[in-house]
A = this chain, B = another copy of it.
Amino acid sequence: MTSRTRGRPAAGTSGDTRSEILAAARSQFAARGFNGVSLRSIAREAGVDASLISHYFGDKSALLVASMELPVNPIEKIAGVVADGPDGMAERLLRTFLSAWDPHREVFSTLVRTTLGGGDTDAPMLQLARNVLITSLLEVIEGDDRELRATLIASEIIGMATLRYVAKLEPLTDAAIEDVVAAYAPSMQVLIDR
């Protein structure tokens, strides 16, 4: 927990060197993943000296963490939806998920790339999938294959979001939220109802 949304006292000339760095980091981590990005390239895009990154954020991992901080936690919203029971859950799940993440496409992309680009099996994204989504789902769906089906629901959400935010496959990337909900919810609801 290094930084909060702290207002810098009174910067020098341009609008926040620190913010420029964060914006460039978000963009590049989302596009090329942690290993595919160098601090130098981020500094170049931000128009600052590379050593300033260390000065403001510490090391590269800390910059990654800072660039992924969100004003609200999209995960908690999802868990709340599941608690409302299985009727029409697919629709609520998709709408809530898309509404929460659409404004933060780059962060989700970074989440996927750092999870799937490296070798970390206990990466943050998978912990979330297992501990929050799947655990909640198991309390409301039924059947003796419900663990498998809960995992498949998670895979539907992650797969959809990966093609929408990371791979940017048309027409999924630019489709309106309600169009995706309408097209996908009936399929997902089958996994919920059994």
Contacts and interface: CB of A to CB of B under 8 A. Distances in A.
A121 B167 contact: yes
Interface string A16-49: 0000000000000001110110000000000000
A158 interface: yes
B117 A116 contact: yes
Interface string A98-122: 0000000000000011011111010
A32 B162 contact: no
A175 interface: yes
Contact of A163 (B113, B154, B169, B179): B154
A152 interface: yes
A: interface residue count bin: 35 or more
Counting every copy of the chain, the complex holds 2
A163 B167 contact: no
A33 B32 contact: no
A116 B166 contact: yes
Given A117-B33, A118-B36, A154 B169 contact: yes
A154 to B, nearest CB: 7
A143 to B, nearest CB: 9
Given A169-B130, A171-B147, A36 B119 contact: yes
Interface of A: 31-33, 35-36, 112-113, 115-119, 121, 126, 129-130, 145, 147-149, 151-152, 154-160, 162-163, 166-172, 175, 179-180, 182-184, 186-188, 190-191
